[in-house]
Amino acid sequence: MSVTYSRINQIFISRLRRLEESIRESSNIVHDATKGALREAYLRDFLNDIMPPNLSIGSGFICDCFGTISPQIDFILAEKNQIPSIALMENIALIPVETALLAIEMKSIIKSNTKDQLQKQYDEFNKMKPVVVVQPGEEIEQTNNFPILLSLIALESEVKKETLVEWFKSIPTLLNICIIGKYSIKIKKYGISDCEIIKGANYIETLNYFSVVINNCYDNLEKRRKLTYGRGFGRSWIPYIVGHQNV
């Protein structure tokens, strides 16, 4: 019995093939900064195609209104229409922690020190203090810290698959890892480090990777709405403007 796929699925497979080819072609460029910028641009174009319109895609830094700021992140998925991000230059922005949902790191080759980079991001995210502001002039209300999920995508890996699985145990918010065209690894359930490995034809590992990213962004949004009792974080922009001590 033949399996029929949607036209959209076929389009994404075609675009993933072009994405992989474009990224591999950029390997011939000697200048690392130019090579990195090109690869980010290729992936950004694909992300813009596949991500729902209520999620924004940008590069830059995540911050809170108390002054904590993350290391630079290749791609940040955030909720639109709540709090604006502040552009620092083209495609680089400061994104408030209240709207940041997920951080994606892109690598040509995953190396052993990639884990250190992810661990540092996890540690910095844990220091951040999201807040809720009910009305202007009222005292700000700090929420319990909520997770900014971490994700990793690459062309190759020097690190064995079994070792990558171990990374999920020490980085609790690591959601998934994808080696384009080869395999992806994802947690079976958030908060539990047990993992599942996906591989197969027609970039199923990469399509699954992005579907997991999108699903968990929506799960993260639902958790945050519950934290604010449905009010959202719209008024949390106030302490960024005037300073948290002046709200």
pLDDT in tens, 209-239: 999 999 999 998 888 888 777 777 777 888 8
> Within its chain, how far is the Cα of 26 from the centroid?
23
Mean pLDDT of 156-172: 95
Contact (CB, 8 A) for 85 and 96: yes
pTM of the model: 0.88
pLDDT at residue 112 above 90? yes
Q: Angle at which helices 32-50 and 7-25 pack, to 10 degrees?
A: 180
State how far the Cα of 98 lies from the Cα of 232, in Å rounded to an integer.
9
pLDDT at residue 136 above 80? no
